[in-house]
Chains A and B, each alone.
Chain A
Amino acid sequence: MKHRLSLTVNGQEREILIEANRTLLQVLREDLGLTGVKQGCGLGDCGTCTVLLNGRPVNSCLVLALSANGAEVTTIEGLAQDGRLHPVQEAFIEHGAIQCGFCTPGMILTTKAFLDRTEGVPGRQEIREAISGNLCRCTGYQKIVEAVEAAAQAREKKND
């Protein structure tokens, strides 16, 4: 039996009929074509499928889509506004924080949520804690940490 699912995805209202056993990850990728959401394990271990659910980062592979009914979902595709990249995206590109790119969408969304709830420029240990649920095998996290820090610094500068 199919069920009606209403979501606001990247600012757009979407309504679809789905089976009850489908995950948010499957719905976003397969029904809505948002393939920026990646699947690295399907078990909630790696964080590549991270999306923002009402502003909070979640492993979308562990969220039954119907349980998100009525929620606001932000995927990596929804971060740039009017053709302008989000400052976190800019920082990741500028600081060499992207190699294979498979962790990148989840890592950027986790960072965005982290900076949204953090004031000022967080310390590196705090940054490492914030992104510790997102695995990366390429970078050793060095340039990711630097990018997150740079994004926070850029925000400070802008607020000055």
Chain B
Amino acid sequence: MTDFHVLNSRVRRLDAPAKATGQAVYVEDMNLPGQLYGAILHSPHAHARILDIDVSAAARLRGVKAVVTHRETLGLKYGVSPARYDETLYCSDRARYVGDEIAAVAAEDLATALEAVGLIKVEYEPLPAVFNIEAALAEDAPQLHDDFPGNLNAEVHQEFGDFDQAIKHCDLVHRHTFLNKRQDAAFLEPHASLASFDQRGYLTLYSSTQVPHYVQRTVAMVLGLPIGKVRVVKPYVGGGFGPKAEATPLEMSACLLSMRTGRPVKMSYTREQVFLHSRARHQFRSEYTIGAMKDGTLVGLHNKTWLEGGAYSSFGIATVYYAGSLLGGPYRLQHMKYDGWRVYTNKPTCGAQRGHGGVAARAHFEQQLDMIAEELGLDPLELRLKNVMQTGETTINDLNMSSLGMRECLEGVEKASGWREKKGQLKSGRGIGLACGFFVSGAGYPIYRSDTYHATVVVKLAEDGGTALVETASAEIGQGSDTTMAMIAAEALGVNLEDVRIISGDTDLSVDLGAYSSRQTLMTGHATKEAAEEAKRQVLEVLAEELGLPLEELDAKAGKIVFKGVRPDFRNLRVAYLKEHRGWTDWPEGEGLTFREAARLAYLKRGSIVGRGKYKPPKLGGAYKGATVGTSPAYGCSAQVAEVSVDLETGQVRVERVYGAHDCGLAINRTSVEGQMEGSVSMGLGEALFEEVKFDGQGRVVNASLGEYKIPTALDCPEVKAIIVESNEPNGPFGAKEVGEGAIMPTIPAILNAIYDASGVRINELPASAERIFLALKKKTRT
């Protein structure tokens, strides 16, 4: 057993009291003196040439302070990956989806800003548009981007081993196709931004973002400012799940309008605008061919996938790579071939969402594994146990499973669910299904090509030695990273958690790539640990000198100095401390020397004690094209069993229970780990059963509200039994790795496999609505 004094516990989250009392501040809750309110004009056409933009009436409206269009910008192209910069802040000659940004207004109040938006006259020449993959790839299809002929945003072709040769020797070659639907992240806080450009030319942006660092860079580039003149601050964020992991036109508009007016500008998306901005889960159409041997050994996979990307790239270049690379595990595939295409359409842009690139792929793959197991007459659990990799193995595409408790996860859910008693034994209309998954614990490379540190952290000790301040630009977006970092700092410094304060989410504090790819626990965690250890070392060095002891004999734990040898006489130190704090009532006391006394001494000898930490992954991955995407210092993995009931008359599904096991390395905060697992199940359940962003024939979202776009309520969600599996990840701080995204991987296929078990129908197109299951049941009885 470990002897941590803070880690691996169930301490209360540091931010919970503020959030439970309404004191937690989100951007929308902030106001600055003299602020203006902004609004954006969106294209009503899915595809149109812009012939003229006349802002004169809007500019004349009383209370309007600025109107900006492409003419007021540098016209620079930007995006997520420099390899695919294809967006401009406002459309100049062409609008490419319903919602494309045309102009923005700042006014004394929101009503005036909205009225002014309505007064902007735009002359459009509507163009033919494409709304699905087939139409976009057709020979004479309307083209979205001159630089990307054929509407092909990106294509990937990779081969590991020799698939075509290998399947010739397989006992079973199984082909299957699958289709998911666009999902919306449906975080409850719509994006909001508050920008303030000061008289000296420095810009501060408060924004609801997952990635202050990338927003800082993008804003600086697009608006023509040096990076050091842009500060991005992230107050509390009401959920992100991926779509808030890139700079938005909202943020840039607020900044540009503040620069032009010299006044703070506040802007927010309505819920409808959140749907238009999107950047959420892509639609995948995939065809997999899997070769297997009679005994269940998986030999190879040929994965062909088309992604419907919407009008711009966003994270799409990464998504299309992830859609291939993340099927390299957790099974021992010897041959893997991947052909992927991301296609432009005249719809809102898709981007990253929880389980980026892997969720639909995993839903397809894991359902197909069950079909293979059935054809081979094997238990799906046995098939998986036979093929899962173990710690130390490397996937065929060079991803190193430096820790992998996959088998333990399977055994965990098997036992908890009573799999062996239930599989094949449940009555008609009841079913049980299983699936696995894995995910990166932080992308191995930044989004832009760079040698940058992925995280730097500063730990400062208060002059009285009693409080440690952790400063990081990492992003607490609800997942609990502030608490995680404070816990890591307390453990590494040797103090109690209540003596650690953290400030985060501010580019002034450090460099941190932010909350995406499940990276912060491992990466920011490493930097936090190093910073705290560095501060501790400084304190102990001074103490060692003072007491004439070797440094190796000293340590700190739970706020006390640990003397490994004979305890020295430190009365002089205590007397000095007490003398300096006459009138105080919280004097250090007791037999031992406190960390506070030692840290005070260190301050007196050396000035402010500041520990600095940094982290970047070592060079990871193979040498092939695209080898960087999917690399990570570590991988989390998970297995889930779902129990469902299907009404065989109506096709209505109810997920009765989910048993989920996830290997997160060391669980820093056990309650938070479970929270990520349980939340993942609900997001996966929504995508499996009812979530779908729908469009009319003109490319307009028809369900752009949380009433029409249904996310799970408490009545839709099952009781979830979360089982924490803890491997010891050698590349993680204290052995920790991800949980935020890997845990969603098995949910959809576990549910689909359970639906099959209950009803005998395979659902190959999401969502598995009552209608779709009903039709499949009818088809089945006919044949």
Show the binding face of A for B, using Cβ within 8 Å.
29, 34-46, 48, 75-77, 79-80, 85, 89, 92-96, 98-105, 108, 124, 127-129, 131-145
Q: How far is the CA of A39 from the CA of B185 in the complex (A)?
A: 17
Q: Are B22 and A140 in contact (CB under 8 A)?
A: no
Q: How far is the CB of A82 from chain B (nearest CB, A)?
A: 13
Q: Which residues of A contact B478 (CB under 8 A)?
A: 99-102, 138
Inter-chain contacts of A35 with B (CB < 8 A): 22, 25, 28-29
Tell me if B23 is interfacial: C-beta within 8 Å of chain A. Answer: yes
**Which of chain B's residues has its CB closest to A43's CB?**
B705
Other than the known A45-B707, A136-B188, A141-B717, what 12 A-B pairs have Cβ atoms closer than 8 Å? A39-B28, A40-B189, A42-B271, A89-B17, A96-B672, A99-B478, A103-B188, A133-B713, A137-B185, A139-B675, A139-B678, A142-B720
> B238 to A38, Cβ gap below 8 A?
yes
Tell me, yes or no, whether B480 is within 8 Å of chain A by CB. yes
In the complex, are the beta carbons of B679 and A140 less than 8 A apart?
A: yes
B476, closest chain A residue (CB): A100
Contact check, A102 vs B239: say whether CB atoms are below 8 A apart: yes
Cα A89 to Cα B241 in complex, Å, equals 25
The reply to whether A37 and B22 contact each other, CB–CB distance below 8 Å, is yes
Q: A124 to chain B: which residues have CB within 8 Å?
A: 719
Which residues on A sit within 8 Å (CB–CB) of B717? 128, 140-142
Q: B239's closest neighbor in chain A, by CB?
A: A100
Complex Cα distance, B28 from A144, in Å, reads 25
Shortest C-beta distance, A1 to chain B (Å), equals: 16
Compute how far the CA of A138 lies from the CA of B19 in the bound complex, rounded to whole angstroms: 14
Cα of A41 to Cα of B720 in the assembled complex, Å: 28
Query: Per a CB cutoff under 8 Å, which of A34, A40, A100, A144 touches B714?
Result: A144
Contact B21 A135 (CB under 8 A): no
Interfacial residues of chain B within 9-60, with CB under 8 A of chain A in the complex = 10, 12-13, 15-26, 28-29
A107 to chain B, nearest CB (A): 10
C-alpha gap A100/B680 in the complex (Å): 14
Is A98 touching B189 in the complex (CB atoms < 8 A)? no
A57 vs chain B, min Cβ distance (A): 14
Which residues of the other chain, A, contact B236 by a CB distance below 8 angstroms? 100-101
Residues of B within 8 A of A142 (CB): 674, 678, 717, 719-720, 722
B241 to chain A: which residues have CB within 8 Å? Answer: 137
Contact in complex: A92, B188 (CB < 8 Å): no
Residues of B within 8 A of A96 (CB): 10, 13, 671-672, 674-675
Which residues of B are found within 8 Å of A89, using beta-carbon distances? 17, 20-21
Q: Once the chains bind, are B21 and A102 in contact (CB under 8 Å)?
A: no
| B681 touches A (CB below 8 Å) | yes
Structural contact, B714 and A99, CB atoms closer than 8 A = no
Give the interface centre of A39, A108, A138 by most chain B CB atoms within 10 Å.
Answer: A138
Bound CA span A116–B503, Å: 37
Whether A42 and B270, one on each chain, are in contact in the complex, defined by CB atoms closer than 8 angstroms, is: yes
Q: Within 8 Å of chain A (Cβ to Cβ): is B477?
A: yes
8 interchain residue pairs of minimum CB distance: A36-B22, A100-B478, A101-B19, A102-B238, A140-B682, A76-B22, A96-B671, A35-B29
> Is B256 in the interface zone, CB < 8 Å from A?
no
| Residue among B16, B17, B477, B674 with most chain A CB within 10 A | B16
